[in-house]
Amino acid sequence: MSALTSSIPHFDHDELIHSHPVPTLLIDKGAVVLFVNAAAEQMCNMSRSAMIGRVVYDVIDMDRSYRQRMSDAATSALFAHRAEISVGGRKAIFVDMQMVPYGQSGHRILALIPAQSDAELMGGAIGRSGRAAGGAASMLAHEIKNPLAGIKGAAQLLARKTDASGERFTTLICAEVDRIATLIDQMEHFSRGQPIACAPINLYQPIHQAMETARARQFTGVRFAEDFDPSLPLVHGNHDAMVQILLNLVTNGCEALGGRDDGVVRLATAYRHGLSIDNGDGRGRIALPIEVSVSDNGPGVPADIRGDLFDPFVTTKREGRGLGLALVAKLARDMGGTVQHLRDGEWTRFRVHLPVAQEGAAV
């Protein structure tokens, strides 16, 4: 616990604030964030450790009048109906903002309740998109699996007549066909709300398969670089889902480079201490120390879509459908992990964070 929170009774803010189903923050009399709950982390797309110690309106963009009242120690209470805020560079949203005093030290609880009309609109959109996704998944499954079976059969025939160098590619074709068929099955399960099957996996197996597939596409002018930590433990995940995540991210990186001569796509793995997330599934906070990152030195994501990057149908590609990164986020979430985007100097980075496989789990 940081020095900022050492003076706050542990049982109070843990039981009262953390259990709130709406985004809730504890701030001091200078508007510095002392504690946030899981709902606030999800809303801001930012970890608790990254928010604590910062002034609240440096984390959540809001009108100047609200900033002034929150930074005024004499203001202990505040209510604003349909206040406009934005977080993480995303589009503005409307909330009912409530601030009430907490304890004897000038601390205050700040709750950000989604405005009712926005909540109703969101619920309707989710319901319609869910029904549409279910119907689309069922139709696509039949239409795609038939030609996939033909592709695999042709590859198996070619494998009997080719040499060792060609056999590597026919084997890759068969593996990719199987993976795509499995992915279709998973999307059908998704439309029915069934969870993805996870088990302990060696992360470098899906990395190797994704890189083999990407190299086979022969992107012009792209150089692949690797920076791997060989000591990583087994990961709690799904092999095919990891291949799909990495292949989507690597392909996006290659396409973003646009054929430039000095283009680099870099894959890296690392063990990161301290990162955790509460997915709201009742298990509490889960550590996500395993990081897989895919970076490129292309022009980066346009600023106007960064906040919606993982939403369906958001894309800058002329022929794109805007589903790749939405699928990446879904698959990472299904494995108990998360994915983040950031611009770091000349590099665009996508970082996937995953949990470690539990000891004693079957491999």
SS3 for 59-118, per residue?
HEECCHHHHHHHHCCCCCCEEEEEEEEEECCCCCEEEEEEEEEECCCCEEEEEEEECHHH
Report how far residue 64's alpha carbon sits from residue 151's, in angstroms, rounded to the nearest whole number.
60
Q: What is the DSSP letter of 336?
A: T
Q: What is the pLDDT of residue 79?
A: 80
Closest of 147, 297, 324 to residue 222, by C-alpha: 297
The pair phi, psi for residue 117, each rounded to 5°, is -65, -40
CATH dotted code for 13-115: 3.30.450.20
Residue type, 353: H
Cα 99 → chain centroid: 30
Q: What is the DSSP letter of 277?
A: E
Q: What is the dihedral of CA 195, 201, 206, 209, to 10 degrees?
A: -120
Report how far residue 210's alpha carbon sits from residue 204's, in angstroms, rounded to the nearest whole number.
10
Tokens read off for 281: 């599934």
Per-residue pLDDT of the chain (363 residues; tens, 9 = 90+): 344 444 433 434 445 566 667 788 899 989 999 988 888 888 887 888 889 999 999 999 988 888 888 888 887 788 877 788 888 767 788 888 888 888 778 888 888 887 654 433 333 333 344 444 455 555 556 567 667 777 888 888 888 887 877 888 888 888 888 878 776 765 655 455 556 889 999 999 999 999 998 888 888 888 999 999 999 999 999 999 999 999 999 999 998 887 778 889 999 999 988 777 766 556 667 889 999 999 999 888 887 777 777 776 677 665 555 677 888 888 898 898 999 988 888 899 999 999 999 865 554
Which architecture characterizes domain 199-354 according to CATH?
2-Layer Sandwich (3.30)
Tokens read off for 200: 């302990």
Q: What is the pLDDT of residue 69?
A: 86
CB 326 within 8 A of CB 336: no
Number of Cα atoms under 13 Å in the Cβ half of residue 21: 3
Report how far residue 357's alpha carbon sits from residue 281's, in angstroms, rounded to the nearest whole number.
18
- DSSP run (H or E) holding 147: helix 116-161
Q: Which residues touch 64 (CB under 8 Å, ≥6 apart)?
A: none
Q: What is the DSSP letter of 230?
A: T
